[in-house]
Amino acid sequence: MRHVLTERLGISHPLIQAPMAGSTTPELVSAVSQAGGLGSLGAGYLSPQAILEQAAQVRAQTDKPYAINLFVMADEFTADAGLVTRARERLDALMVKEGLAIRTSLPERWAFRFSDQLAALREARPPVASFAFDLITPAQLRELKQLDIYVIGTATTVAEAKAWAELGADAVGLQGAEAGGHRGTFLHEPEDALIGLFALLPLAARAVDIPLIAAGGIMDGRAMLAAEVLGAAASQLGTAFLACPESSAAPAWKQDLQQAQDHQITTIRSFSGRAARGLRNRYVEAMSQRAEELPPYPILNALTSPLRKAAAAAGRGDLISEWCGQAASLVRPMPAATLVAELMREYAQARAGLSA
């Protein structure tokens, strides 16, 4: 399966840089792809025009394969006015307490329309498209395949992996409980789908016959090989690339990753309204009370966006969404191409050790 995936994608290494929306840049994506992995542009928060512009920037920097990732959502959202008002009051009060001048406001839109983003993706025509939060429709899948775009779905359970395989996806990214960022769960409650990667891999390998991509807590070449032994065709690393200079993660966030303790990493809803894994920081603790009363994604995500930007600008990592995987403190600040080379050196060394 490893060779099937790498040969089909035209990449040298069984390594995918995770599409971290809000933290990936064209520079990061192109650097990973140019180094032989598959760079992924996290486009879930981007306007259709921005998707086209950033795809063009990637193409200007490399002719190697790359991916664009989108969040599968409804085109329109209806917000509960009462929930929105109460959430704004709580958020504004917290900003006052923390000494930040920014306040919430009602955005022009809660999120960009998925259908418009998907149209932009088709126009950009990346070699690979990946999706999270739900299945795309059979018609959408056919349109992508007509453009010879390789489709990767995201699953957090065996049932979700089977759903993507039955739809006709080319591969499935398995998001273990250890993975940072938003959970891709769509058939279950997120709390019921926190399955460890090394348990999920062999279970999914028994259930589907398309390539599996392992994601969650993988920070070095040894873990990449371990995932392969359990059935993965490739590994997808996100947190490992957050500290690279090409990443747009806030400096305070990058610094906090190096000091993160394993028990501080938890499932959080209070930043976006959707379950995500990251550091339990000052904001998370402050908003933990009555978290169930906060509006869902993408409503809350839109409300907190200006606050997160202001906190990042002020160097307040403790007030932003510091998404990360379970082994965050193993992060290594270095250029993306250097990190790819180091990961593959470790992978080859571990592989040679198995053969000895």
**For residue range 44-54, what is the model confidence (pLDDT) as tens digits?**
999 999 999 99
Pairing of strands 276-279, 265-268: antiparallel
101 inside domain = no
Q: What is the pLDDT of residue 356?
A: 67
290 inside domain = no
pLDDT (average), residues 197-213: 98
Under the banding of pLDDT at 50, 70 and 90, the label for residue 17 is very high
283 inside domain = no
Residue partners of 81: CB distance under 8 A and separation at least 6: none
The CATH number assigned to the domain holding 195 equals 3.20.20.70
316 inside domain = no
Q: What is the pTM of this model?
A: 0.96
pLDDT digits (tens, 9 = 90+) for 219-255: 999 999 999 999 999 999 999 999 999 999 999 999 9
Per the DSSP assignment, residues forming a β-bridge with 68 are 41, 129
Q: What is the pLDDT of residue 291?
A: 80
226 inside domain = yes
Average confidence score pLDDT of the chain: 97
CB 323 within 8 A of CB 269: no
325 inside domain = no
pLDDT (average), residues 283-287: 96
Q: Is the pLDDT of residue 355 over 80?
A: no
Compute CA 74 distance to the chain's CA centroid, rounded to the nearest angstrom.
19
Least Cα distance to 66 among 134, 191, 152 occurs for 152
Residue partners of 245: CB distance under 8 A and separation at least 6: 333, 335
Q: Is the pLDDT of residue 1 over 80?
A: no
* Residue listed under structure tokens 């990936």: 24
pLDDT digits (tens, 9 = 90+) for 58-92: 999 999 999 999 999 999 999 999 999 999 999 99
Angstrom distance (rounded) from CA 80 to CA 166: 35
Count of structural domains within the chain:
1
147 CB-contact burial (10 Å; exposed 0-12 / middle 13-18 / buried 19+): middle
Least Cα distance to 129 among 154, 151, 113, 153 occurs for 151
CB 188 within 8 A of CB 201: no
304 inside domain = no
19 inside domain = yes
347 CB-contact burial (10 Å; exposed 0-12 / middle 13-18 / buried 19+): buried
pLDDT digits (tens, 9 = 90+) for 300-332: 999 999 999 999 999 999 999 999 999 999 999
Q: What is the extent of the structural domain holding 226? A: 2-73+112-250+331-355
Q: The tokens of 96 are what?
A: 């006052």
Q: What is the pLDDT of residue 4?
A: 87
Q: Is the pLDDT of residue 2 over 80?
A: no
